[in-house]
Amino acid sequence: MAAPRFTAACIQMRSGRDVLKNRDAAVALVREAADKGAHFAQTPEMTSLISRDRADLFEKIGPQDQDPVLASLREVARERGVLVQIGSLAVKDGDKVANRSFLIDAKGEIVASYDKIHLYDVDLPNGESWRESATYTGGDTAVLAETPWGLLGMTICYDLRFPALYRALAENGASFLSAPAAFTRQTGEAHWEVLHRARAIETGSFMISAAQGGLHESGRETFGHSIIVDPWGRVLAEAGTEPGVILAEIDPALVTEVRGRIPTLKNARSFKVAIALDPQPLGRAASA
């Protein structure tokens, strides 16, 4: 029996330094999504707090069982009978922080969690410098979560640039893939949509990714453009830069249809890599 269609919502935010204010914004937007018919609602990476100050971050976070955003979103999931994916929260993990995503079922129970595997360490041409590894601890396990409509592959932000992760999730049964994010404006303008369409096409999966958008209190500027893409690579819904909700109807049967037409998951073969070295460097004449 085919899985039923459902309505997915991406919750776009502009999280600041006030955890409780961010919590209230997330709760209000999830309720709005549910009122508009969403069965599944996803918030962005760092739903609870965006701060570039490490001391400020550590002062305002704690272990997940004490996180007020997690507790409130569990309650709203139970209240409205919707699945809620928290794109990620910063939670204490020893002397570092875990960038952790949660899937909450319609009874308010945590059914899965995922720690971001790939950490964003970079120096950008505009002078911005990011060293996630200085503060965050990377995960080491890809996670598939069961939903009423099929398996959801959970990833976060920078993971989007590593296609092997998405292929592994799809090969293990994922029909839906998510990459909730806080992409910078510059990289988002260049790559956000094309990477989502590529991951969807490569795996024959839906991509559902909520994002942070706009200029934050910390001075960081994020791209926004929360997006839902179908397995054929078509954009079903896309936001701008302002906080709000986007929705799209998801037909799980389309995953089977597209994978049947372009069976890349089945047709993949293992291979070796050979490096053929030219014994005659270019521009150098052979000896007579």
* Residue 194 pLDDT exceeds 70: yes
For residue 147, what are the contacts with CB-CB under 8 A and spacing of at least 6?
40, 83, 103, 176
Which CATH code of 3.40.630.30, 1.50.10.10, 3.60.110.10, 1.10.760.10 fits the domain covering 6-267? 3.60.110.10
- Whether residue 51 contacts residue 61, with contact meaning beta carbons closer than 8 Å, is answered with no
Amino acid letter at 203?
A: T
How do the domains of the chain map onto residue ranges?
6-267
Beta-carbon contacts of residue 50 (< 8 Å; ≥ 6 apart):
15, 16, 17, 182, 212, 216, 217, 218, 220
pLDDT at 34 over 80: yes
- pLDDT of 11: 98
Closest C-alpha among 48, 50, 43 to residue 20: 48
- What SS3 state is found at 114? strand
Q: What is the pLDDT of residue 287?
A: 53
**Range of lowest pLDDT (55-59, 149-153, 201-205):** 55-59
Higher pLDDT, 202 or 53: 202
pLDDT digits (tens, 9 = 90+) for 212-226: 999 999 888 999 999
Instruction: Kindly list the catalytic residues.
Output: 45, 116, 157
pLDDT score of 288 more than 50: no
Q: What is the pLDDT of residue 120?
A: 85
How confident is the model over 104-125, as pLDDT tens digits? 999 999 999 999 999 988 887 8
DSSP letters of 37-79?
A: T-SEEE--TTSS---S-HHHHHHH---GGG-HHHHHHHHHHHH
Model confidence at 284, in pLDDT bands (50, 70, 90)?
Answer: low
- The whole-angstrom separation of Cα 178 and Cα 221 is 22
**Which residue is associated with the tokens 């819904």?**
237
Mean pLDDT, residues 168-181: 98
Residue where the block lists tokens 């970079």: 122
pLDDT digits (tens, 9 = 90+) for 47-86: 999 998 889 999 999 999 999 999 999 999 999 999 999 9
Which pLDDT value is given to residue 282?
61
pLDDT in tens, 219-253: 889 999 999 999 999 999 999 999 999 999 999 99
For range 158-167, the mean pLDDT: 98
What's the confidence (pLDDT) of residue 132?
Answer: 85
